[in-house]
Amino acid sequence: MQIERQLEQLTAMVSDIKRDQALTAKDSADTKTDVQKLCRIITGESEPERGLVLRLRALEQGVDGLRQDHQAIRHWAWSAIGSAIVGVGAFVWQRIIS
């Protein structure tokens, strides 16, 4: 009776170990699949133009272009403000002299 109980316990332990191994193998396979998908997303694999690396570079170029445009607009705005101040000063000076 005691041997049968020990045999049942061992059988249950072996079943638990096999189940755990199967779950671990499934988790490992799922992880491998997820890593492969992420690699394809990042590199674009057969379509590199769809990869995140090239999209990031294109985005950086777009941001650089926006910065340059911002600097140009800022320069133009300060030039316009300076011209307006000179114009007002000239108008006031003209009124003072007249």
Q: Is the pLDDT of residue 20 over 90?
A: no
φ/ψ of residue 45, rounded to 5: 40, -110
For residue 85, what pLDDT is reported?
94
Residue ranges of the domains in the chain?
2-97
Residues in the chain: 98
Q: What does the alpha-carbon distance between residue 89 and residue 58 come to, in Å, rounded to a whole number? A: 46
Q: Is the pLDDT of residue 42 over 90?
A: no
The pLDDT confidence band at residue 82, using thresholds 50, 70 and 90, is: very high
